[in-house]
A and B are shown apart, each in its own frame.
Chain A
Amino acid sequence: MMDLTWYLLGALSCAIVYGLYELSQKQRLNWLDWTGLILGAVLILFAIAWSVGAVLEGVPRAGSMGMLLFGLPGIVLTTLSLRFILARKEKVS
């Protein structure tokens, strides 16, 4: 099961890298955007891997804590970064 998770996370990572590339082509990103997006994505991927591992070993509480402590900041960071990028785009246009 963990092997399948790694495989899916690999595919998800590729999709994220491609998405970031596309975004950087359409919109000029500064270092803060890059940091926010990359860190956010890494935290989300990490939270998924952590939580699946924890559930597989039979400690669901560790899984939920992982989602809360890694996944939530990841989602907040990614959302905020995207919002700032979109806001700038609207301002420029």
Chain B
Amino acid sequence: MNEHDMKDEQNDTPEKSTTNESRRNFLKLGAAGAGLAAAAAGGVTVLKRMEGLPLDHFPLPINDEYVRIDQRNQINTYSFSKKLNDDHPERTKKFHDWNFYEKKKGFFIGPYRDKAAGQGQLDRALGAAGFFSPVSQLGYKSTGMDSLNAGVASWEQTMLAKEKYKFASPEEATLCIKSAARLFGAVRCGITPRDERWDYNPLYDAATDEVLTWEKDFPFKPRSVIVVMVDMDYDAIATAPAWTTDGATGDGYGKAIKLAGQLAVFIRQLGYQAVASMNDLGMNVPYAVAAGLGEAARNGAVITPHYGPRVRVAKIYTDFDFVEYAKPRDFGVASFCKNCKRCADSCPSKAITLGDPSWGPEYSTDPDYIWQASKGVFKFHNDAKLCFKFWIENDGSCAACIASCPYNKPDFWHHRLVDAQNVIAPGPVHSFMREMDILFGYGKVSDPERVTKFWKSGAKI
């Protein structure tokens, strides 16, 4: 009891003291109630913020310098075509005399390496099995995930119903499409109007070296793009850049293309035209952003709530447009990326910029070197060629920029709490959170322990 309380007690009569006591209790209760209400309101605001603030515009500024990407300049497509590489000796010369086509030929078939580092026969077998799924679905075309008009991503409008199904409202149509997507394995789905800016122009089939146009070759004029996401296994991705990650990457592609193929059939059975697409036809990141599924991040991927960059994106182009379109959303990722840079620090090839967003690549201005880059979009510009070169040298895909990202976490309550904190906290706190992430032991790459851990991850099933 403090002095003040004792004085009060000495001066008060019994009735006065009782009245004061109950008034005090009443005030205390009121304050507690107000505190609880404020906490609840704060919680609701944070939850809403975590779902993203809807935007009326595409979040990345674009200027007149922007031109649609020629699919021949898309690095995977380019690397699959001998003709394209032969046509551009200046590119090879400028890039350490490194011919993408020749180097790619030896990819994924090199001798086994260090087993402890996740580059032994066991890990190679996992990667090959993972990629067996998408490759077989895309009809074993030699152009991998960028195959155009192949397998389940065929342009043929098979199983197209004669009668067009009529939905009661665009909202109902969107909900039904998203429900079907969920059934077929999507963790996220959004529908956005087809935006020619994000579609390759012209298209290029690296298997046949044919240049194709949307107007003459594509079977219909797309009006909408359904964007879907599947997640990749956390434990396998955590082994990056070991070959073990290929199991998750390949499997992610397999799940994504299966889902997109099924959804395309679903739309066709409703009487509308549809084509599934993996990495071909258009760019996944801007479409995913436009569909409100995530934000474009420093590591060149799209970061989506709960999964971070540990997702694969596929698309379904359709002429069906009686839908409720999604809006892009601000999840606070761009602001976090400005201070974080963890992916750039972890990138073995130093392909990821440590700088701020810019209108074009800052690593070079030489047109013979930056042929693959886009200009006129205010974003993080990375050197995809360096990334690709590392893959070839590593003889497996990498994913260190996914594994190291603080947004890449498994589904545990404490990570959702940190996510909530990150969306409301200002910039300097983001730098602190990055340091905490390291201190707590998350996002370490090139760690043989992660490989051992992955190979024990099946113990409980």
Given contacts A30-B2, A88-B1, A92-B1, contact A49 B441 (CB under 8 A): no
Chain A 69-93 per-residue mask, 1 if CB under 8 angstroms from chain B, else 0: 0000000000000000000100010
Distance, CA A53 to CA B413, complexed state (A)? 8
**Nearest A residue (CB) for B439:** A65
Report if A62-B2 is in contact (Cβ < 8 Å); known contacts: A2-B413, A56-B412: no
B441 near A57: Cβ-Cβ < 8 Å:
no
Residue of A53, A66, A88 ringed by the most chain B CB atoms within 10 A: A53
A26 at the interface (CB under 8 A from B): no
Chain B interface category by residue count: 10 to 19
Q: Which A32-48 residues have C-beta < 8 A from chain B?
A: none
Complex interface bits, B437-458 against A, C-beta within 8 A gives 1, otherwise 0: 0011110000000000100000
Q: Which of A2, A59, A88 has the most CB of B within 10 A?
A: A59
The distance in angstroms between the C-alpha atoms of A66 and B410, with both chains bound, is 17
CB pair B410–A57 under 8 Å, yes or no, is: yes
CA–CA, A50 and B414, complex, Å: 6
Instruction: Judge whether A53 and B442 touch: CB under 8 Å.
Output: no
Contacts of B442 in A (CB 8 A): 59, 62
Which residue of A is nearest B6, CB measured? A92
B443 to chain A, nearest CB (A): 10
Q: Point out the residues of chain B lying under 8 angstroms from A54, CB to CB.
A: 412, 414, 440
Say how far B84's CB is from chain A's closest CB, in angstroms: 44
Q: Across the interface, which residues of B come within 8 angstroms of A92, CB to CB?
A: 1
How close is B421's CB to chain A, nearest CB, in angstroms?
13
With the chains together, A70 CA to B180 CA distance in Å? 43
Q: Most chain-A CB neighbours within 10 Å: which of B2, B410, B412, B442?
A: B412
Min CB distance B447 to A, Å, is: 12
B window 369-427: CB within 8 A of A: 410, 412-414
Tell me if B5 counts as interface (CB < 8 A to partner A).
yes
**Contact: B440 with A28, CB < 8 Å?**
no
* Residue in B closest to A56 when the chains form the complex, CB atoms: B412
Beta-carbon contact of A61 and B441 below 8 Å? yes
Q: For B441, what are the chain A residues with a Cβ–Cβ distance below 8 Å?
A: 59, 61-62, 65
Q: Are B5 and A49 in contact, CB atoms less than 8 angstroms apart?
A: no
Question: With the chains together, A30 CA to B2 CA distance in Å?
Answer: 8
Chain A residues whose C-beta falls within 8 Å of the C-beta of B5 in the assembled complex? 28, 30
Query: Please, which residues of chain A bring their CB within 8 A of the CB of B412?
Result: 2, 53-54, 56-57
- What chain B residues lie within 8 Å of A57 (beta carbons)? 410, 412
**B204 smallest CB distance to A (angstroms):** 43
A53-B414 contact given A58-B453, A65-B439, CB 8 Å threshold: yes
Which of B1, B439, B453: most chain A CB closer than 10 A?
B1
Q: How far is the CA of A50 from the CA of B2 in the complex (A)?
A: 37
Which of B410, B414, B440, B453 contacts A61, CB < 8 Å?
Answer: B440
Which parts of B1-44 form the interface with A (CB within 8 Å)? Answer: 1-2, 5
Q: Using known A-B contacts A50-B414, A53-B412, A53-B414, determine if residue A62 contacts B453 with beta carbons closer than 8 Å.
A: no
Given contacts A28-B5, A92-B1, are A59 and B413 in contact (CB under 8 A)? no
Contacts of B440 in A (CB 8 A): 54, 59, 61-62, 65-66
Of all chain A residues, which has the CB nearest B457? A58
Say yes or no: A49-B413 contact (C-beta < 8 A), given A28-B1, A62-B442. yes
Q: Which chain B positions have C-beta within 8 A of A59?
A: 440-442
The residue on B at minimum CB distance from A61 is B441
**Residues 155-171 of B contacting A (Cβ, < 8 Å):** none
A2 to B5, CA, bound (A): 45
Closest B residue to A27 by beta carbon equals B1
A48 CA / B440 CA spacing, docked (Å): 15
Q: How far is the CA of A88 from the CA of B440 in the complex (A)?
A: 40
Do A49 and B439 have beta carbons less than 8 Å apart? no
CB distance from A45 to the nearest CB of B (A): 13
> In the assembly, what is the distance between CA of A58 and CA of B442, in Å?
11
In the bound complex, what is the Cα–Cα distance between A49 and B442 (angstroms)? 18
Q: How far is the CB of B119 from chain A (nearest CB, A)?
A: 22
- A2 proximity list for chain B (CB < 8 A): 412-413
Give the residues in chain A near B410, CB-CB below 8 Å: 57
Give the docked Cα–Cα distance between A61 and B436 (Å).
12
Tell me, in angstroms, the Cα distance from A61 to B440 when the chains sit together.
Answer: 6
* Bound Cα distance A49, B413 (Å): 9
**Measured between C-beta atoms, what is the minimum distance from B34 to chain A in Å?**
15
Q: Name the B residues within 8 Å of A50 (CB-CB).
A: 414
- The interface residues of chain A lying within 8 Å CB-to-CB of B453 are 58
* Nearest chain A CB to B401 CB, angstrom units: 20
Cα A57 to Cα B346 in complex, Å, equals 22
CA distance A50 to B442 in the complex (A): 14
Q: Could you list 10 examples of A-B contacts with CB < 8 Å?
A: A2-B412, A28-B1, A30-B5, A53-B414, A54-B440, A58-B453, A61-B440, A62-B440, A62-B441, A88-B1
Known: A53-B413, A54-B414. 6 other contacts (CB 8 A): A53-B412, A54-B412, A62-B441, A62-B442, A65-B441, A66-B440
The 9 closest A-B pairs by CB, nearest first: A61-B441, A62-B440, A53-B412, A65-B440, A53-B414, A50-B414, A57-B412, A28-B1, A57-B410
